[in-house]
Structure 1
Amino acid sequence: MKIRGFRNARLVLPDEVVLGSLLLDDDGKIRILDEGPSSSSELLDCAGDFLLPGLVDIHTDNLERQVQPRTQARWPSRSAFLAHDAQCIAAGITSVADALCVGDAGFEAQRVQTLRDALVDLQQLRAGDQLRAEHFLHLRCELPVANLPQLLQESLAAGPVQMLSLMDHTPGVGQHTNLEKFRSGRRAEGLSEEELEQRIAESQERHHRYSAQNRAFILELLRDRPLPVASHDDVTPEEIERNARDGIRISEFPVTLAAARHAVDLGMATVAGAPNLVRGGSHSGNVAVADLVREGVVSALASDYYPSSLLEAAFLLAEQKLASLPQAIAMVTSSPARLLGLEDRGSMTPGQRADLLRGRYQDGLVTLRGVWRAGERVG
């Protein structure tokens, strides 16, 4: 059921927070913003709760975790997709770019099946109007994979693809530069020393054989496609320089402050992980997102692997005075929306789509009391 509007809400606008009312038109868009209290019985009384734009998640791996909740347990894919969708809405995410791996670097073979299932599931669930959030695809292209060109072309044809990122999870590269730390993590998964070393060697051989040619293939394939492209896990300014020369305009999860600074200096956008901020640092030893925000080198936050981290991180930024609340909310709404090319959402301004959240802030946490997409309640 669509709603006429809201009253007595703390409206999180692009530049300020004001007490007021918001009215919607019949097409599910924001029509009017009014400051001050209202007694109109036609509007939902928010009783002083926050009203803010629906969150836009530019990168989440959460679907993979629903498909494979345990190493040896695989869940039916469509059921997993619906569970993932429900978690996104519960977290206030109304637009989500599902980050799916195109290829496997040698340690997570099930990811290709997850990709293929998700391409089919998303089409059918959208056609049946079974999803509450609006889902897009963010294709994470694993460069050291022999059949990456074939997998990528199949995925692009299946749509709706909104973004691509180039990544290389070869042991010894990017976020896995520290091989001893990588080995320690894989041993914890039960791999024997012999099997672990064999897989590392095979992965590194594929890196040398395929990464450069696959990168060139992707950049050429996308030359005439208006899709945003991101690099992934940038470590050095030199990597940033190369990406900028190749026309890549987004640095996703830069591993070091130096890389993030250089990306911003070159006019690139940066995406950082909200879980890193909520937890107080990186689980893998990378730069703390709080430090990146202090330096002014974060354009947008992504939930990465934990959907509810997105809203919590935004309010935490404001609480810690690392950003104003409108600035922090922009990092999880309008900024990722623009990076994805979604110009019709992410801001509480007239003409924008009425993807909205009503939330109550207490004891450092936000309790969502309603979620609307295009003016229709979905959570």
Structure 2
Amino acid sequence: MTRLGNARLVLDNEIRPGGVVFAGGLIGDIGEIGPGGDGLDLEGDYLIPGIIDLHTDNLERQTQPRANARWPSRSALVAHDAQCIAAGITTVFDALCLGDIGFGKARNQTFEDAVIDIAALRRQGALRAEHFLHLRCELPAEEMPEMLARAIEDTHVRLVSLMDHTPGLSGQYGDLVRYREMRRAEGLAPAEVETVIAELQGNHHAFHAANRALVIAAARARFIPLASHDDATETEIARNAAEGIGITEFPVSLQAARAARARGMRSIAGAPNLVRGGSHSGNVAVIDLVRENLLDALASDYVPGAMLEAAFIAAAEGAIALPAAIGLITSGPAAIAGLADRGRIAPGLRADLVQVRLHEGLPVVRAVWRGGVRVG
């Protein structure tokens, strides 16, 4: 039995002094447990549930730390896992991209390696966080169906998202002027950029519709939650809702987020947007979604540490109370993913817990427990 005392417990609707007792990986009791005795004194720090990240691209950054430097897959995975734990993330949905969208074959290789290596490291007990798979299906990619077929039966696939990053036609890259600037900044010559645009638009018209139907059918057959990605318009939301898609992931406009809420869809947004004070690509500011109660969960996107910081920023700016802000990175993601055994500090739930101390407003993780075992 482990006893944590003298904490500020962040519960569903309140923050109160006390502590937690857990055994066998489960929370047994919460109450007014002060300092002293045979427990661990948390010195008045916050104690929150383990963070649940439904969408992280961080693995891609570990496998490709430089444009021409490919890192060994298992080494990259261990580094990625360590960064997640250091950020207080105890449940990770590794977002693996299925299909090339004009950025080279690096993402496809990350998918190929990760499906094998995450399973191997999981069996060996080498990962400190619990890792699930989030399959990001690029609908214009010709190779996507074959990649999906290799992964969809994995029981650790718990989320599937429909993506179409065709420049000039949809989502984040709908603005061709901005897209051209971005690709030229990466070193592509103007003629090369135009070739990429033409090829991707051709692939969209050739493969999008059939691939969309295939992905929806495959996810439904396994009862996996489905998300749409980068929704911009009410029309897109209406189509998604009609096809049984219950999640909008990273809506790029306030109108899309409002339409999703009106139709009962869940919404996920990127925590880096909130930490940076806005979108890096000109899309809706996440703080505005929080203020209008249009958000159910934050995800790390490309910075694991952003989740905890974003929650405290949202509360500090008065957009939401702190317990509800912490819910955006714990109970909210748990509800979306159907993980009823975690995401809250309550008796009978998993003892996934994070000790957090504020340093001049910046939240710093001091200790992490997953299933009652200290892992960070």
**When the two structures are superposed, what TM-score results if normalisation uses the length of structure 2?**
0.98
Deviation track 1:73-117 (CA, whole Å, cap 9, x = no partner) reads 111111000000000000000000000101112223211110010
Count of residues in correspondence between the two structures:
375
2:289 to 271, 287, 292: 292
Deviation track 1:23-77 (CA, whole Å, cap 9, x = no partner) reads 112x111111113x52452211111111110100000000000000111111111
In structure 2, how many angstroms separate the alpha carbons of the residues matched to 1:176 and 1:223?
A: 28
2:140 to 132, 144, 151: 144
- Look up the match of 2:358: 361
- Look up the match of 1:10: 8
Deviation track 1:356-378 (CA, whole Å, cap 9, x = no partner) reads 00111121111211100011000
- Look up the match of 2:43: 47
In structure 2, how many angstroms separate the alpha carbons of the residues matched to 1:56 and 1:244?
A: 25
1:320 aligns with 2:327: no
Letter of the structure 2 residue corresponding to residue 84 of structure 1: H
1:100 aligns with 2:96: yes
Q: C-alpha displacement at 1:162, in angstroms?
A: 0.8
In structure 1, how many angstroms separate the alpha carbons of the residues matched to 2:64 and 2:27?
A: 39
Q: Which moved more, 1:352-361 or 1:37-46?
A: 37-46
Whether the 8 Å contact between 2:299 and 2:329 is mirrored in structure 1 is yes
Whether the 8 Å contact between 2:42 and 2:355 is mirrored in structure 1 is yes
Letter of the structure 1 residue corresponding to residue 254 of structure 2: L
Give 3-state SS (helix, strand or coil) of 2:21's partner.
strand
Map residues 212-361 of structure 1 onto 2, 5 A cutoff.
Answer: 212-361=209-358
Structure 2 residues without counterparts, runs of 5 or longer = none
Map residues 61-80 of structure 1 onto 2, 5 A cutoff.
Answer: 61-80=57-76
Q: Which moved more, 1:149-158 or 1:316-325?
A: 149-158
Q: C-alpha displacement at 1:127, in angstroms?
A: 0.6
Percent identity of the aligned residues?
55
Q: Which moved more, 1:129-138 or 1:188-197?
A: 188-197
Whether the 8 Å contact between 2:35 and 2:43 is mirrored in structure 1 is no
Q: C-alpha displacement at 1:223, in angstroms?
A: 2.7
Structural RMSD (CA): 1.0
Q: C-alpha displacement at 1:159, in angstroms?
A: 4.5
Give 3-state SS (helix, strand or coil) of 2:369's partner.
strand
In structure 2, how many angstroms separate the alpha carbons of the residues matched to 1:68 and 1:39?
A: 46
Q: C-alpha displacement at 1:219, in angstroms?
A: 1.4
1:24 aligns with 2:22: yes
Whether the 8 Å contact between 1:142 and 1:168 is mirrored in structure 2 is yes
In structure 2, how many angstroms separate the alpha carbons of the residues matched to 1:114 and 1:278?
A: 27
Whether the 8 Å contact between 1:119 and 1:159 is mirrored in structure 2 is no
**When the two structures are superposed, what TM-score results if normalisation uses the length of structure 1?**
0.97
In structure 1, how many angstroms separate the alpha carbons of the residues matched to 2:50 and 2:245?
A: 27
**Runs of 4+ with deviation above 6 angstroms:** none
Q: C-alpha displacement at 1:146, in angstroms?
A: 1.1
Give 3-state SS (helix, strand or coil) of 1:227's partner.
coil
In structure 2, the CA distance between the partners of 1:7 and 1:217, relative to structure 1 (3 Å rule), is same
Structure 1 residues without counterparts, runs of 5 or longer = none
Give 3-state SS (helix, strand or coil) of 2:221's partner.
coil
Q: C-alpha displacement at 1:147, in angstroms?
A: 2.1
In structure 1, how many angstroms separate the alpha carbons of the residues matched to 2:200 and 2:252?
A: 21
Q: C-alpha displacement at 1:238, in angstroms?
A: 0.3
